[in-house]
Amino acid sequence: VNQQHTSGHTSTKTRLLIMGPPGAGKGTQAALLAGRLRIPAVSTGDMFRALQHADTPLAVQVRAVMAAGGYVDDATTNDIVTDRLGATDCADGFLLDGYPRTLSQVLYLDELLAQAARRLDAVICLRVDEEEVVQRLVARGQMSGRVDDTPQTIRARLAVYQEQTAPLLETYRARGLLLPVDAMGTVQDVAERIALELDGHAALDLSILPTP
Ligand code: ADP
């Protein structure tokens, strides 16, 4: 794939996705990386968790979907992402965590970026084995009380991920955007691997800050 360099392409125009199964550590790594790149981390999971406590029909719906380990419908999800990416702090780049997760969302994001004459720079994909993921999520559920971190819901989320989201990686791989990263090990180890992958990515010219 021919990654065309646009002349004004600098580290202040970075648009990234971070993908991977539930429990891979996307949120943790997204926050670290976004801080180092000085771009906002945009997590659809966080946005849905924030709105689920409201007293609205949407909140009721989101709560039910999340508790069952399913995906919120594409129209609702695309709408909140459109709003968020339209905010001024996203104008110079963003790191999307947990979106897109369906083919319809991939196509929607393509369109949204095309309308703004923007494109993605890279897609980080965190890889973990399933046993590790289940253990992490069960542990997190005990600490955080997240309603979707129960053993039953975790299995459901992994199944939905495998069925609907994992195949999307191929789309980004075919575009030359996919950066697979081994996400086993410490937070620090994984953060360093991500930084190395981004440094080596031909389409990117990032002044990434050193790991703390
Ligand atoms: P995890 O990746 O660990 O499952 P997230 O915090 O990213 O956790 O997402 C939590 C839940 O929020 C998901 O299980 C799903 O119900 C909902 N959600 C998040 N992002 C999306 C999305 N892009 N499309 C549909 N539902 C989503």
Query: Does any ligand 1 atom lie closer than 6 A to the CB of residue 99?
Result: yes
Q: What does the pLDDT read at residue 144?
A: 86
Range with the lowest mean pLDDT among 55-59, 89-93, 124-128, 148-152?
148-152
* CA 101 to mean position of chain CA atoms: 9
Q: How far is the CA of 6 from the centre of ligand 1 (A)?
A: 33
What residues contact 140, with CB distance under 8 A and at least 6 apart?
23, 146, 149
Rounded Cα distance between 120 and 109, Å, is 10
Q: Is 157 a catalytic residue?
A: yes
- Three-class secondary structure of residue 27 per DSSP: helix
State the catalytic residue, choosing from 140, 155, 173, 175.
Answer: 140
Q: Is 119 a catalytic residue?
A: no
Where is mean pLDDT largest: 96-100, 118-122, 130-134, 137-141?
96-100
Query: Does any ligand 1 atom lie closer than 6 A to the CB of residue 149?
Result: no
pLDDT at 4 over 70: no
Mean local confidence (pLDDT), 111-133: 94
Q: What does the pLDDT read at residue 200?
A: 86
Q: What does the pLDDT read at residue 10?
A: 43
Give the residue whose CA is nearest to atom 7 of ligand 1: 45
Give the residue whose CA is nearest to atom 3 of ligand 1: 22
Q: What does the pLDDT read at residue 202?
A: 66
To the nearest whole number, what is the mean pLDDT of the chain?
90
- β-strand partners of 122: 16
In tens, the pLDDT along 61-119 reads: 999 999 999 999 999 999 999 999 999 999 989 999 999 999 999 999 999 999 999 99
Where is mean pLDDT largest: 130-139, 141-150, 171-180?
171-180
Mean local confidence (pLDDT), 3-20: 66
pLDDT at 11 over 80: no
Q: Is 146 a catalytic residue?
A: yes
Rounded Cα distance between 184 and 112, Å, is 33
Give the residue whose CA is nearest to atom 11 of ligand 1: 45
What residues contact 150, with CB distance under 8 A and at least 6 apart?
141
Rounded Cα distance between 126 and 112, Å, is 25
Lookup: tokens for 100: 């897109």
What residues contact 21, with CB distance under 8 A and at least 6 apart?
126, 128, 130, 133, 158, 161, 162, 165, 166
Instruction: Specify the amino acid at residue 178.
Output: L
